[in-house]
A and B are shown apart, each in its own frame.
Chain A
Amino acid sequence: MRNAKNLLFSSFIYALTALMVFVLVFVIFFIVREALPLFREVPLSDFLLGQRWMPIGYVGNPAYGIGNFILGTLLVSAVAMLFSVIVGVGTALYLACVASDRQRSLLYPFIDLLAGIPSVVYGFIGLVIIVKFFLKLGHPSGVSVLAAAILLSVMILPFLVSSISDTLRKLYMAHLPSSNALGVEPWHATAHVILPLAGKSILLSSILAISRAMGETMAVMMVMGNANLFPTLLGKGETIASLIALEMGTAEVGSTHYHALFAAGLILMLLLLIINTAINAIQKKVLG
């Protein structure tokens, strides 16, 4: 009886795990499979570097170039990361070097609230606050890469803060006693010992934050203007994720347009995969 129960339980665990792993592998396989037919019609270089995206050839031939979308994705994520790092490192410093245990135990879950807010709510607040603000300043439409980057920087802040503050806290606990013993003022030690030591891992966390930002869809789509333009800070732009979200509903299954959207999704996945793999490799090498 007990043996039967045990066997039943372990079979259940194995079966469910195997099923889930199969599904996950299948998802990846499926996306790749649906993407590949595009490259029979459109050369990879045209797809990646082309600036014309004209899936339905009303005038002239259809064109499938996602160059601007790739650049838009990278630009908005990188700018968002820059903003987020400035505030994120400062916040992490406060959490690691100033906050008492009690403060920390309240502030961490408080900051994590940011990660729980749905991205449409971010998009909505971006529209009514940031876009309105840009309009007031005289920007013609208010929607822009910069507006999206500001919004995105708030969305990735909790991930940056939690990973950087972990590193800073460890360094602070390890080095402060010896620095105090030398009579060095703690903030001096923070500025000259702890921050420089944390530099590499702050850099890694920042790149990881970019990869988080790149997958974000809704909020960015709502404030970035969605136009196939070469992205500039104050101009409109469009990301790969927005492209898929905006056009999937209208693409005929099996059409070149449809395969192109899958290919765009695949490129986004590959970008994320390259960044994440590189970070893992560097982390193993540099941080041990």
Chain B
Amino acid sequence: MEMILSLRGVTASYDSIAAVKNLSLDIPRNRITAIIGPSGCGKSTLLQCMNRMLEEEPGATVSGEILLAGKEIQRIPKEDLRRRVGLVFQTPAPFPFSIYKNMTYAPKYYGLKDGESMRLLVEEKLKMAGLYDEVKDDLGKSAYKLSGGQQQRLCIARALTVNPDVLLLDEPCSALDVKSTSIIEDLLPELKRNCTIVLVTHNIAQAKRLADRVAFLYNGELIEYNDKSAFFDTPQETLTRDFLGGARG
């Protein structure tokens, strides 16, 4: 299996307090890798290391090596890296524009001018995010008028407009209701045909439903990392067993 992201001894700290400690991990291409663990275990921090978004946090520092398709990400210009490795946040954050303008915001930046190809791109990505049928008649509507679940799918669609190789999802469903959650969960296995997905979640059942591989983080350290079936059927570590059993949720 081809690895798209490789982390080697990554440590991330806020004001010199380590949130991720000396962590190594390989993420396979075109798979869904779930990162689970209790809140505060460093999942989100780890995710933000992967496209250098952590650098935007004041006082945060990262050390160690992260390779994207074999290339150290510090050597890739920040902006190129983030185009290739997209990130969707926990709470939906649509821009205060229309749905259509939310979708064209990034492609315009990357130089797409032609109206027709823009329209096709918007349609394609909205379809991929499972939102197109709900909004196709009213693309000029303000994104703020959408429901929370629709907003989150718009954010996923927006992240897809730049054709990323990897999509990082930071607990994308934790702010949503059950129905929106299930729509998004149906969507992810479709998406992995085109890109690699790294999904942070504290919901074990969600990881079980979606992931190909599962990593368990505890206190900033990688405790266990394995294929889904092996991870859930025969966990090796006591900590993992306790977490899955709910003892340390």
CA distance A3 to B77 in the complex (A): 10
CA distance A2 to B83 in the complex (A): 14
Chain B positions within 8 Å of A3 at CB level: 77
User: Nearest-CB distance from B76 to chain A (Å)?
Assistant: 14
CB within 8 Å of B: which of A1-31? 2-3
Chain A positions within 8 Å of B79 at CB level: 2
User: Nearest-CB distance from B22 to chain A (Å)?
Assistant: 34
User: Nearest-CB distance from A210 to chain B (Å)?
Assistant: 38
Chain A positions within 8 Å of B109 at CB level: 2
Closest to B110 in A: A2
Chain B positions within 8 Å of A2 at CB level: 79, 109
CA distance A2 to B77 in the complex (A): 12
CA distance A262 to B109 in the complex (A): 52
Q: Count the B residues whose beta carbon is within 8 Å of the partner chain — how many?
A: 3
CA distance A7 to B33 in the complex (A): 37
Closest to A6 in B: B79
In the complex, per-residue mask of B56-85: 1 if CB is within 8 Å of any chain A CB, else 0: 000000000000000000000101000000
CA distance A2 to B108 in the complex (A): 12
CA distance A77 to B180 in the complex (A): 61
CA distance A15 to B79 in the complex (A): 24
Closest to B77 in A: A3
Chain A positions within 8 Å of B77 at CB level: 3
User: Nearest-CB distance from B118 to chain A (Å)?
Assistant: 18
User: Nearest-CB distance from A247 to chain B (Å)?
Assistant: 51
User: Nearest-CB distance from A275 to chain B (Å)?
Assistant: 33
CA distance A3 to B222 in the complex (A): 37
User: Nearest-CB distance from A9 to chain B (Å)?
Assistant: 13
User: Nearest-CB distance from B3 to chain A (Å)?
Assistant: 30
CB within 8 Å of B: which of A237-268? none
Closest to A1 in B: B111
User: Nearest-CB distance from A109 to chain B (Å)?
Assistant: 23
In the complex, per-residue mask of B73-112: 1 if CB is within 8 Å of any chain A CB, else 0: 0000101000000000000000000000000000001000
User: Nearest-CB distance from B160 to chain A (Å)?
Assistant: 20
Closest to B79 in A: A2
Closest to B109 in A: A2
User: Nearest-CB distance from B126 to chain A (Å)?
Assistant: 26
User: Nearest-CB distance from B215 to chain A (Å)?
Assistant: 35
CA distance A2 to B79 in the complex (A): 10
User: Nearest-CB distance from A147 to chain B (Å)?
Assistant: 49
CA distance A3 to B79 in the complex (A): 10
CA distance A287 to B77 in the complex (A): 45
User: Nearest-CB distance from A4 to chain B (Å)?
Assistant: 13
User: Nearest-CB distance from A96 to chain B (Å)?
Assistant: 29
A residues neighboring B (CB under 8 Å): 2-3
Give 3 A-B contacts (CB < 8 Å), ordered by A residue.
Answer: A2-B79, A2-B109, A3-B77
Give 3 nearest A-B pairs by CB, closest first.
Answer: A2-B109, A2-B79, A3-B77
